[in-house]
Structure 1
């Protein structure tokens, strides 16, 4: 996990989604200097995400595209250097070192002048050795890229063909399997590239130029100074003719979630390529298509088999108790004691369907990829000589998703390591998630008695979290509803891992988890019909309506969930990894008929996320396989406490639709 940022500023330089749109800003005067966030504030916020190193690199460009100078810059001041007409690019990188044989500091600057700040992991698409660093390997791949991807920007100038020189930047980025956000300077073409993966698993915020701050800024997180005020600053006409994803972000607040995708800004020969305006020079931000066809399939999230045919009913078989079961899950009681998983198809009993088997294998591979510790990380752990050290933890409710992750992690992680199970409660031992986590711990101890499991009970009272709540409010920004804040606080506290553990001798002791990698169950509900609204859609519109709602959930998860969650978890210098959102897991689930994924004619705790419940049974998790869905804000009971504090009662909160109420509109 890293924190990355860029500040692009210049003498009367305006960055806009398109020149056609930017022409509409001719009546808006942009100041010469930014009046918003400072580079120092960005660095301080990013340092919490990447505590191992912090670096800065500045580039100064003349209007004709020549570089006046470059360097790390001073520790103070945010002004533009290089004289009149110069443009400055300030790259910032804070690193949490987890992969690679040697420590690596960002920004990475190549001999060619290319500059990269990267926040992500590469699990496929680019070859990376066990002891290699993701960022270095990616920079090496990007160094070989040609400028073919710029043809749409500069059609009057010829560029080398990528077939003879190398792939384009969009082609390289489209092949990456895994979460990422990056900012990359391609020196030979004077082009700035930036973006985030197709599911937005890593945060990247954007500040579009406004009358109050004319700079173009990208950052993993918002500093507190500019997240407290979420008021809109409009720039008239910017959305006209612009990219629809970008244009929707222009006039809401200082920071916005950057929509998933690959973007660039071409700064070569600004006097020719920039649209000249009385108030300044306008350069375009262009969005590029993903070039990998398999990735396009995942983004469209189209399932071939949605509605059961008469020959394939969604619920047609009967078990020993005459309970209706779908054809996918016949006779599973015969294997309820199957606690070990064969990696080959032949190792599994014939009664286990191919669909459940495929999902299980895909999830196991996903967890394995995300929990392999390379030489650097494991070496640092061994130096501590703590036999109970836990390098990887799980955000743990004891529910279906976290129990599956725990059981799979147990199979993937060397038995010498302890696994921390992080559980947060705002109602002590009475919160539903605390009750299920204690039951889940017992079930995990039953299926894997030799593993050291450590349940970390993180107890708190919302009334005592004034400063913490304000800090989390800055992290969730630009999200700003009570639901976002409640989820953010619960995630932030859980990721911190500061709680209590019940020892084997019955002694309860204070403990703070040092795990730097956290597994999180995000994406399971969206892909497997786990939300109550899915049941409602199915009841009203059948299978087609259910499929449409699930597709909507997956396609908007970047804006509703992932950026917010990434910022809250990583604020502790920890890295969230999402096995359910692995590309191959998504692909596998899409290839399975919808009626095998879920059967919402059956009750809650049985028909929702049905395929995952069968995976849980195959893992030996019999009790967890019947647990109903509970969102973290309800399972931890922070929503109840928040409703009482801010609305007087749960009833009043429900009447006010408290979850969607914006925090800054009330006295918080």
Structure 2
């Protein structure tokens, strides 16, 4: 996990579209730095990337001349644009340590936060960032790729792919900021599912800079939850439209973006207060990626007597079903194995200790230390991840299971985690499993709660805060373990890689609202709700969760959101994914329950869905603290209430 940032300032107004640029013509944008400072950004990013922190700055004159200032922020002259790149590194891949930003002899600059599991070849001893930088530097730099469309041009056949083409091939989570010196173009973006955080600050009258950052500094986000922003809403891009009030920071929508800074005297829209530059959003060029983003399933509604009903109960009237559907048990077994294989490969890619940075592994000589941990509730998703990790990880390593509770041994997740530990010990008795019990009291978390509030920013509801606190504490790994002598000993996990079950519920109908949609509108309605969940997971979940987990210098990895896993699940008929006519704990996430049985997890295969805020009981404690009681919180729809506000 790394932390990346860019601060672009001086003489430019960066707007999401030409329409926004036109709207900005009546707004004064003084070059005043009333917002976050570079030092504050560095302090926040260092927590994500504790192994190294660097910055690289240069000034860009209107005629395209680049003046490197060595990072002291001096130079460039009046009207020059300054670009300041910041990179904080958590070293996890490669044979040698790598510090960011990477700067090429050409003058190109890259800060990257992500892993590459396909699309670009990475040798076992290579670093992802360096390999990607080499691929990007071979890209075509002609203006057509920036100012026109994303079609293939003849130039690419002889020179190389375009930047959007390279980024579209990457399998794995990523966010990046890349200065392509040959074309004077700034490229930035995040992967199609938003698995790595990237926030954007659009210029405002109070702070005219354009800023990208993995995380918001605590000192600034705390008092800047919402402010009026005039003239910077895009009328053409739905991801940026419809805002009358926005935070200082916004989640950058998934995709690849560019700002062309070549010949600003002629290519920028000159105004009294400065030059307006347009941000362009580029199309993904990978057809498979388009398929995954659309999230369209071929088989949604079971066929009954040749008809496609709005709703069908699989368990009722099986004699009416077509022979292919009636004899589906063999097909179900086949699809279950396909999902199991896809998930195993996903876990293996994300937990290959042989390609982890060996400098860290040399500190793990003690057999009791664990290189990889799991955010562990004892529920279906985390039990599957634990069993698969056991198959993928060398037996010499311990596996840490991180479990957080706000009600000691009484929290549902603590009860299920203890039961889950016993089941894991049964199916893999030779593995050293370590359940780390992270106990806390919400009343004692004043400073920690304020810190987490800055991490979830721009998310700002009580539900976001509750989930954020639970994830942040779990990722910290600071708890207790029960020794063989019966004593409870203090322990802090040193695992830098954490497996997280995000994406399982969205793809396999694990939420109560999926059951409601099915009851009211049948298969198609349920499918549409699941598609909506997947397509908005970047905004609702991933950025927030990434920021909370990575704040400890840990890296979250999400096996259920692997591109191959998503594709495999989409190829399976919906009625084999879930059967919501069946009871809770059986029909929901049916396919994953079958996977659990194949792994020998009989008890876990029947566990009902329980969100972390309820399983850890932080939601109950938060409701009592902030609303007086659970009943009052439910009446106020506490989950959607902004922190510090009440519904009356």
Kindly state the Cα deviation for residue 405 of structure 1 after the two structures are TM-superposed.
0.1
Aligned CA distance change for structure 1 residues 594 and 37 (closer, same or farther; 3 Å):
same
Q: CA deviation at 1:25?
A: 1.5
Aligned to 2:321: none
SS of the equivalent of 2:83 reads: strand
What's 1:385 paired with?
A: 365
**Alignment correspondent of 2:2:** 2
Partner in structure 1 of residue 627 of structure 2 = 647
Give the match for residue 337 of structure 1.
Answer: none
After the TM superposition, which segments of 4 or more aligned residues of structure 1 sit over 6 Å from their partners?
A: 326-329
**Cα deviation per residue 1:293-316 (whole Å; 9 max; x = unaligned)?**
000000000001000001697635
1:140 aligns with 2:120: no
Aligned to 1:226: 220
Structure 1 CA distance for aligned equivalents of residues 587 and 87 of structure 2? 45
Aligned equivalents of 1:5 and 1:249: distance in 2?
24
Mapped partners of 1:365, 1:665: distance in 2: 45
**1:570 matches 2:550:** yes
Partner of 1:67: 66
Query: Within 2, Cα distance between the matches of 1:604 and 1:652?
Result: 27
- Give the secondary-structure state (helix, strand or coil) at the position aligned to 1:185: strand
Question: Aligned residue for 1:244?
Answer: 238
Shift in Å, 1:592? 0.1
Cα separation, 2, equivalents of 1:203 and 1:10? 26
User: C-alpha displacement at 1:119, in angstroms?
Assistant: 0.1
Q: 1:209 aligns with which of 200, 203, 216?
A: 203
1:439 alignment partner in structure 2: 419
- CA shift at 1:426, angstroms? 0.2
- 8 Å contact kept, 1:25–1:235: no
Matched, 1:17 2:11: no
The change in CA–CA distance for 1:588 and 1:328 in structure 2 (over 3 A counts) is: farther
Residue of structure 2 in register with 1:186 after alignment: 180
Residues 278-300 of structure 1 show CA distances to partners (whole Å, capped at 9, x for unaligned) of 22110000000000000000000
Deviations 1:68-101 (A, max 9, x none): 2242x13xxxx66311110000000000000000
Deviations 1:10-61 (A, max 9, x none): 13x1000122321111221111132100000000000000000001000111
Distance 1:623 1:311, change over 3 A: farther
Matching residue of 2:37:
38
Structure 1 residues 240 and 147, CA gap change in structure 2 (3 angstroms): same
Q: Distance in 2 between matches of 1:117 and 1:361?
A: 34
1:411 paired to 2:410? no
- Pick from 276, 293, 297 the counterpart of residue 299 of structure 1: 293
- Change over 3 Å in CA distance of 1:184–1:351 after alignment to 2: closer
CA contact (8 A) 1:501 1:511 kept: yes
Between the aligned partners of 2:524 and 2:86, the Cα distance in structure 1 is 46
CA contact (8 A) 2:403 2:413 kept: yes
Matches within 5 A, 1:527-606: 527-606=507-586
The DSSP-based 3-state class of the residue aligned with 1:188 is helix
**TM-score, normalised via structure 1 length:** 0.92
Shifted more, 242-251 versus 381-390: the winner is 242-251
With over 3 angstroms needed to count, the CA separation of the structure-2 counterparts of 1:112 and 1:253, relative to structure 1, is same
Shift of 1:505: 1.6
**1:112-158: CA deviations, max 9, x gaps?**
11100000000000000011000000000000001357446269xx9
Q: Note closer, same or farther for the CA distance 1:351–1:31 as it changes in structure 2 (3 Å cut).
A: closer
Moved more, 241-250 or 187-196: 241-250
Q: Indicate how the Cα distance of structure 1 residues 154 and 580 shifts in structure 2: closer, same or farther if over 3 A, else same.
A: closer
Deviations 1:474-532 (A, max 9, x none): 00000000000000000000000000000112111000000000000000000000000
- Given that 1:203 and 1:562 are in contact with CA atoms closer than 8 Å, whether structure 2 keeps it comes out as yes
Secondary structure of 2:147's counterpart equals coil
The separation in 2 between residues aligned to 1:125 and 1:277, in whole angstroms, is: 43
Structure 1 unaligned spans of 5+: 320-325, 331-349
8 Å CA contact 2:370, 2:494 repeated in 1: yes
1:95-494 to 2 correspondence within 5 Å?
Answer: 95-148=89-142, 150-151=144-145, 153=147, 161-248=155-242, 251-310=245-304, 315-316=314-315, 330=329, 353-374=333-354, 377-494=357-474
CA, structure 1 residues 250+233, in 2 after alignment: closer, same or farther (shift >3 Å)? same
The partner residue of 1:624 within 577, 601, 604 is 604
CA distance in 2: counterparts of 1:329 and 1:504, whole angstroms: 47
The Cα of 1:571 is off from its aligned counterpart by 0.1
Aligned mates of 2:305, 2:97 — CA distance in 1: 59
Gaps of 5+ in 2: 307-311, 319-324
Distance 2:316 2:515 in 1: 22
3-state SS of paired residue (1:435)? helix
Q: CA separation in 2, counterparts of 1:385 and 1:162?
A: 49
Corresponding residue of 2:54: 55
Structure 1 residue 230, shift from structure 2 partner? 3.7
Query: How far apart in 1 are the matches of 2:538 and 2:255?
Result: 11
Closer, same or farther in 2 for the Cα pair 1:526/1:382, shift >3 Å?
A: same
- The alpha-carbon deviation at position 240 of structure 1 amounts to 5.0
Shift of 1:327: 6.3
Q: Secondary structure at the match of 1:663?
A: coil
Give the match for residue 344 of structure 1: none
Quote how far apart the aligned CAs of 1:351 are: 8.7
Q: Is the Cα–Cα contact under 8 Å of residues 147 and 159 in structure 1 kept in the other structure? A: no
What secondary structure sits across from 2:203 in the alignment? coil
CA separation of 1:80 and 1:271: change in aligned 2, threshold 3 A: farther
Q: Deviations over 1:158-188 (max 9, x none)?
A: 9971111100000000000000000000001
Match of 1:525 in 2: 505
What is the distance in 1 between the residues matched to 2:604 and 2:425? 13
Range 219-228 or range 15-24, more displaced: 15-24
Q: Is 84-93 or 244-253 further displaced after alignment?
A: 244-253
CA distance in 1, matches of 2:517, 2:351: 36
Q: Distance in 1 between matches of 2:250 and 2:355?
A: 38
Equivalent pair of 1:148/1:162 in contact (CA under 8 Å):
no
Q: Are the counterparts in 2 of residues 528 and 598 from structure 1 also a CA contact under 8 Å?
A: yes
